[in-house]
Structure 1
Amino acid sequence: MTLSTQNVIQALQSVLTEEQVTVNETVRELHGKDESYHTMKLPDIVVFPTSAEDVSQIMKISTKHQIPVIPFGLGSSLEGHVIPENGGITIDFSLMNNILDVRAEDFLVTVQPGVTRSQLNKVLKKHGLFFSVDPGADATLGGMAATNASGTTSVRYGVMRDQVRDLEVVLADGTIIHTGNKAAKSASGLHLNGLFVGSEGILGCFTELTLRVYGIPEYTTAARASFPTVNDAVEAVLSILQAGIPIARVELVDEPSMKQVNHFSETNYHEKPTLFLEFHGNEAGLQQDVEFTKEIVADHHGEEVEFETDNAGRNRLWEARHNLAYAFIHGNPGKKLMVTDVCLPISELANAVNHARETVESLNMPAGIVGHVGDGNFHVLLMMDMNDPAERAKADELNERIVLYALERGGTCTGEHGVGVGKQKYQQQEHGAALEVMEKIKRALDPDNLLNPNKIFHLDSAVPKL
């Protein structure tokens, strides 16, 4: 331990308790990685604040000693967002996990950043409410806001940015601000919620979130429909959306992925491109929507449609979809999962998925393709040997081809995973001169480049290490 590190620890322990500050190697290792394939790098110190004031004091120490700070939720991110590229202090928000206020009549809830979505939904259920954003992982709400998470329900309810009414944010100099209010709309001032949501910890640390929630639907039904081709499946989705059917989830799973689903989940689904669907509403209205959906699926050569109305059946259906990543991991022992995502205009989606499958086949690597087809977002789940340079090169090539295909057609390099370190090299091509505006905002709010440095983009100024 260097003298500089000792000085910082003493400064932190002067404003926090001894138990809130650690340099334990095991704890540091847990905070040096996420769920991605990116290389682990350890923080020098891990701290566990319990309040916004704690975080403010940590940021003031960071500024005084010129030490990087990395916010950390549960480490479920997929592009290296929480990896301390330059060492420094990792702020773990797991002790800030209180649900502070449920305003059922306003459909709002205020939480600390360490609250997970399942923890929140367990409490909201007592009020007949639920939080809509479902990224698959049981992530913290602070982390979900930091990456603008979305997932299976975004086609109906929107992404994380659509749910945030207000954030309490600690800035680089320790200043505590609020970015919004509890009103349903506002024409006052700049839209700071939109600026901070998705900023991946480079502009400030979230210490409180006020979020929109929804009434639990009176009736829910789920369905599975298989098709001869990906094009048929995507065209069916377009027709369903154009018909105004209130679909809550619509997921595409390609043929190789369905084979993996059957093997892992011990199901016997048709091993063809398949849509997993869910509808929310009242029972009478949904009966009409279901019949209309059946007609649309048949018009697009749907070969099998199975509906699940009871809770157990729906859970089995969605568990098979959500467990797909684990299905690939268990089916390819010794390999690491790389998950990449892009998003395109929905009219471009079918060709993009076909292009991705052709690329995978040309590289001869095991991979599945799944998509939130209602909003044009899809993922490639690729298994690779991290110790094999040739396979790592193939994985990089796959990622590059998929991203460039999306960008050339008006899409984005990431629909929901975020940029982190993995998608940095595409920022200039995607944003052009707007990237300079983003960098100016970063410099204005974090002039010393201490908040989660070298994520989203690299600034010229060097970041000191302990």
Structure 2
Amino acid sequence: MTQAPQDAAPPRLSHESIVSLTLDLSRRFGNRVVTSQAVREQHANTLTWTENQPPDIVVYPETTEEVVEIVKLCAARRAPIIPFGTGTSFEGHTNAPLGGVSIDTSLMKRVLAVHAEDLDCVVEPGITRKALNEHLRDMGLFFPIDPGADASLGGMTSTRASGTNAVRYGTMKDNVIAVTAVLANGEVVKTARRARKSSAGYDLTRLFVGAEGTLGVITEITLRLHGIPEAISAGVCSFPSIKAACDATIVTIQSGIPVARIELADEAQIRAINLYSKLDLPERPMLFVEFHGTDQGVREQAERFGEIAADHGGGSFEWATKPEERTRLWQARHDAYWAAHALRPGAKSISTDVCVPISRLAECVEETQRDIAESRLLAPIVGHVGDGNFHVLPLVSIEDADEVARVEGFVKRLVERALAMEGTCTGEHGVGQTKMKYLPQEHPAATLDAMRAIKAALDPMNIMNPGKILPPAPLVHPEVLTA
């Protein structure tokens, strides 16, 4: 395969170009164009220690047609375009390292259609998962992907999000049927129809799911839905060690128990949860679990899991059967990110994740805990361990250069550990800016070249979220390109 030449990043817009583009956008969109410093900074990275790199302009479209107009105005000036949902991503996805225009989809939040009999719906990208489930509740339906934050469906699609329910319901790649997207030249593509399966051509849907806005701006999404379970049972169980909790998870999955959620929290994270959510859970490694199904089925699943937990030294199982008790329990788990910060007020965080084959999970988490201790770090661990994915949240004083270096070294070793175990540098956070440097270790050069070729074909000017996912290609002189 002939190696494609490296695509140059678009130059940063001159002051004159920014003023001209702002005027053009304002004439069309009025006060939905914003250039204030505060709003621009809100549309860059805000949740981790990664540098905040704001766009030059923020614009709020309401329809696909308006996105087309914005893209065409940007393309005429080769202005970078950064799609924006709710800003809950961790890896610098919303940063604008070259400036440009942030397209905020928060006004595009309609449910366009619900096909209850087909178990699917069509939504705009700005609607959040909680708002969608409120809309669906009276129909007896729900959308199961739950990354914790009340993220937008467009952002969840773009980062190939996952979350607590993934062990049973899969990730966004399993639950997105089709997308409508605006390409860099202003053309609109729809990747599929509503049929549950198709063999008609390339699977462009999966191409846009996880593309992180680097191939186009998603403006509509067709989603797979599920019926609300007849019965739901949730609870927590503590274990004597991380290994025991992970081993119980592995046996549960291998036994075929259709657990809906199975989440891990280590001692540090449980301590944070108790402080933040006013709970009194034992400060030991703990599994949060939930079962969906019929009353009888849920009871049998819970009993079988209880037996497995006991075999691995698990303590007494504490069940939350009332809806308000379950909500409180899972809200505490979802607040783990904020709870961890309470352990060290004023510290910055770097939330990172890896994913390994489930058979290597216990080994990977144990080695990671040893690394944390040896590196003298405070770094709670939580994980969607039913699919081998776990998160680490080092808390760091940015003013302490030695500690910053220790955290950077730890994150590098964490990724290398996961890759050595045939895992991935990111299970669900995505690549963005911060994981980009690890892709050459995870993928062969030919694979990255194929990705670059796709990017170049759909976005030849490299204006769609430049500086994300793909590391620059090695410089190759024309005379050494081979056919």
Is 1:176 the counterpart of 2:151? The answer is no
**In structure 1, how many angstroms separate the alpha carbons of the residues matched to 2:316 and 2:331?**
20
Distance 1:303 1:63, change over 3 A: same
**In structure 2, how many angstroms separate the alpha carbons of the residues matched to 1:131 and 1:307?**
24
Residues 32 and 60 in structure 2, CA contact (< 8 A), matched pair in contact too: yes
Q: Tell me the CA shift for residue 20 of structure 1.
A: 2.0
2:463 aligned partner = 450
Q: Tell me the CA shift for residue 266 of structure 1.
A: 2.3
Q: Tell me the CA shift for residue 235 of structure 1.
A: 1.5
Q: Give the residue type in structure 2 aligned to 1:192.
A: L
Normalised by the length of structure 1, the TM-score is: 0.96
Task: Give a deviation string over 1:410-435, Cα, whole Å, max 9, x none.
Answer: 00000000000110110011011211
2:221 aligned partner = 209
Q: Give the residue type in structure 1 aligned to 2:41.
A: E
Structure 1 residues 9-28: aligned runs within 5 Å: 9-14=22-27, 16-28=28-40
Measured on the aligned residues, the alpha-carbon RMSD in Å equals 1.5
1:223 aligned partner = 235
Residues 69 and 186 in structure 2, CA contact (< 8 A), matched pair in contact too: yes
Q: Give the residue type in structure 2 aligned to 1:22.
A: V
**In structure 2, how many angstroms separate the alpha carbons of the residues matched to 1:459 and 1:239?**
42
Distance 1:21 1:266, change over 3 A: closer
Q: Tell me the CA shift for residue 243 of structure 1.
A: 2.1
Q: Give the residue type in structure 1 aligned to 2:441.
A: Q
1:80 to 74, 77, 92: 92
Q: Tell me the CA shift for residue 263 of structure 1.
A: 2.3
**In structure 2, how many angstroms separate the alpha carbons of the residues matched to 1:18 and 1:284?**
58
2:285 aligned partner = 273
Q: Tell me the CA shift for residue 98 of structure 1.
A: 0.9
Q: Give the residue type in structure 2 aligned to 1:457.
A: L
- Counterpart of 1:169 in 2: which secondary structure? strand
**In structure 2, how many angstroms separate the alpha carbons of the residues matched to 1:241 and 1:279?**
13
2:398 to 380, 383, 386: 386
Q: Give the residue type in structure 2 aligned to 1:283.
A: D
Is 1:334 the counterpart of 2:374? The answer is no
Residues 439 and 459 in structure 1, CA contact (< 8 A), matched pair in contact too: no
**In structure 2, how many angstroms separate the alpha carbons of the residues matched to 1:460 and 1:408?**
24
Task: Give a deviation string over 1:94-151, Cα, whole Å, max 9, x none.
Answer: 1111111111111111111000001000000010011100000000000000000000
**In structure 1, how many angstroms separate the alpha carbons of the residues matched to 2:76 and 2:328?**
53
Deviates more, 1:389-398 or 1:93-102: 389-398
**In structure 2, how many angstroms separate the alpha carbons of the residues matched to 1:17 and 1:297?**
58
Structure 1 residues 304-453: aligned runs within 5 Å: 304-432=316-444, 433-453=446-466
- Counterpart of 1:366 in 2: which secondary structure? coil
Normalised by the length of structure 2, the TM-score is: 0.93
Give the count of matched residue pairs. 461
Q: Give the residue type in structure 2 aligned to 1:319.
A: Q
**In structure 2, how many angstroms separate the alpha carbons of the residues matched to 1:276 and 1:20?**
43
1:244 aligned partner = 256
Residues 252 and 273 in structure 1, CA contact (< 8 A), matched pair in contact too: yes
Residues 34 and 83 in structure 1, CA contact (< 8 A), matched pair in contact too: no
Q: Tell me the CA shift for residue 387 of structure 1.
A: 2.5
**In structure 1, how many angstroms separate the alpha carbons of the residues matched to 2:280 and 2:368?**
26
- Counterpart of 1:315 in 2: which secondary structure? helix
1:125 aligned partner = 137
- Determine what percentage of the aligned residue pairs are the same residue: 45
Q: Give the residue type in structure 2 aligned to 1:447.
A: P
**In structure 2, how many angstroms separate the alpha carbons of the residues matched to 1:59 and 1:316?**
43
**In structure 1, how many angstroms separate the alpha carbons of the residues matched to 2:260 and 2:388?**
15
**In structure 2, how many angstroms separate the alpha carbons of the residues matched to 1:149 and 1:279?**
21
**In structure 2, how many angstroms separate the alpha carbons of the residues matched to 1:253 and 1:241?**
18
**In structure 2, how many angstroms separate the alpha carbons of the residues matched to 1:265 and 1:26?**
31
1:97 aligned partner = 109
**In structure 1, how many angstroms separate the alpha carbons of the residues matched to 2:214 and 2:156?**
14
**In structure 1, how many angstroms separate the alpha carbons of the residues matched to 2:124 and 2:226?**
19
Q: Give the residue type in structure 2 aligned to 1:161.
A: K
Deviates more, 1:147-156 or 1:362-371: 362-371
Is 1:152 the counterpart of 2:164? The answer is yes
Q: Tell me the CA shift for residue 460 of structure 1.
A: 6.1
**In structure 2, how many angstroms separate the alpha carbons of the residues matched to 1:259 and 1:8?**
50
Deviates more, 1:16-25 or 1:219-228: 16-25
Is 1:29 the counterpart of 2:45? The answer is no
Q: Give the residue type in structure 2 aligned to 1:451.
A: M
